[in-house]
Amino acid sequence: MHLTRRLAAAATLTAALFAGILASAGPATAMSPCSGSNPPDYCFSDPPPPAPAAPTALRATAVLQTTVSLTWSIADTTNTEHVVRTINGVSNTFPLPAGATTFNDPNAPAGTAITYAVSATACNDYGCTDGGATTIQVTTHPSPATPAGAASGGAYCTTYYCPKNPPAYTMRGWAIDWDTTAPIQVALIEDGSRTVATLTANATSATNSQYPGYGDNHGFSTSVLTGSSTKGNHTVCAVGLNVGVAGPNTTLGCFTYYTPGPPSPATNLTTTSYSTYVTVTFTDTANDETGYYLQRSTDAGASWLQVGSQYPALAGTGTHGTATDYSTVPSGTCYRILMVNGYGQTASAAACTS
């Protein structure tokens, strides 16, 4: 009897203790499926892929009037590429297939500065990430256009010496008309009017690196050409001939050469007679004489006799010179000055004694 009472009391105490523990633990909650040993797929949340590297080695392979072509290198060919074209603050995006490394823009406006930005986008099942962009700026050529280029040349002469007379000269350069990628014609024009040669600018030239898409076949060079035989300075210009709609040609470059020749004649001769000699004065108009002679005629200029030896050259032009005939001559004796240099001689008009 006493044992039964003790067992009942112990059971009552245990029940009360367990109830207290439950009360302090709060309400019961169900276990999360994601905490189990085999959670479902929706429990996973992977991030999008990392941003792909920006393209490298971006360059323009062609910049024409209305066409621009680009190429670049990429590290991952699985990413989607795209190009953003910006003109005057207005942008257009051109999506490209995965792994693309080239882009051709056939609708670029002529004569315009354009910025192209190339980048890639990496995607997986959980999102996409844009990579950094690589940019390039180009300027398309105007349309219609006039020729462009450069030229230089020279003759094998100095002011006072020329191994060949008339002088020989050469000219070289390059020429492009933006209206075409084909070679164009170049005319060599002397003294503004005389065409001495017409060339096709189709020789090898390093032009494509500066003007991509036009090629390296726009150079020209002449054979040795013969200059003018007329004494003095002469200017030769290389002129690129326009191939598009009617428009101006372009002077690509000029040079000036000098054709030497006999000296200019003396002017303003006067004679002064004395009892035993005659003095002749004159104005020197030459700047390239090596000297001069006094000549005398007693038959009204039908024949001329040299008087004395050669006089030294006078400095500059406009200098007043003199020569003397130490002779007693009759009235009506005529004199002239003969200017000389390595290319010939030139006689002045005659002046006669009274």
pLDDT of residue 305: 97
From CA 329, how far away is CA 278, in angstroms rounded?
8
The answer to whether 176 and 147 are in contact (CB under 8 A) is yes
Q: Can you give the C-alpha Rg of the chain in angstroms? A: 49
Evaluate if residue 16 carries a pLDDT over 60: no
Mean pLDDT of 296-313: 97
Evaluate if residue 295 carries a pLDDT over 50: yes
Other CB atoms within 10 Å distance of the CB of residue 94: 14
- pLDDT 10s digits, 226-236: 899 999 999 99
Q: Quickly state the pLDDT bin for 160 (edges 50, 70, 90).
A: low
Topology of domain 147-259 in CATH is S-adenosyl-L-methionine-dependent methyltransferases (2.20.130)
Mean pLDDT of 207-234: 94
CA dihedral sign of residues 200, 201, 202, 203:
positive
Q: List the alpha helices (DSSP H) in the chain.
A: 2-25
**Residue 253, SS3?**
strand
Domain positions in the chain are 56-139, 147-259, 267-352
Least confident segment among 3-17, 45-59, 113-127, 135-149: 3-17
pLDDT of residue 25: 46
| Architecture of the structural domain at 56-139 | Sandwich (2.60)
From CA 287, how far away is CA 199, in angstroms rounded?
37
From CA 220, how far away is CA 150, in angstroms rounded?
10
pLDDT of residue 187: 97
- Please indicate whether the domains covering 147-259 and 267-352 agree at the CATH topology level: no
pLDDT of residue 221: 96
The answer to whether 280 and 337 are in contact (CB under 8 A) is yes
- pLDDT 10s digits, 39-73: 766 566 678 999 999 999 999 999 999 999 999 99
pLDDT of residue 6: 43
The share of the chain scoring above pLDDT 70, in percent, equals: 85
Least confident segment among 69-73, 157-161, 290-294: 157-161
Q: What does the buried/exposed string (b/e) look like for 34-46 if buried means 16 or more CB atoms within 10 Å of the residue's CB?
A: eeeeeeeeeeeee
* Superfamily classification of domain 267-352: Immunoglobulins (2.60.40.10)
Structure tokens of 155?
A: 């003759």
Q: Quickly state the pLDDT bin for 158 (edges 50, 70, 90).
A: low
Nearest CA to 222 out of 205, 198, 240 is that of 198
Q: Quickly state the pLDDT bin for 18 (edges 50, 70, 90).
A: very low
Return the higher-pLDDT residue of 110 and 159: 110
Evaluate if residue 26 carries a pLDDT over 60: no
Report which DSSP code applies to 106.
T
Amino acid at 162: C
Structure tokens of 35?
A: 């905490």
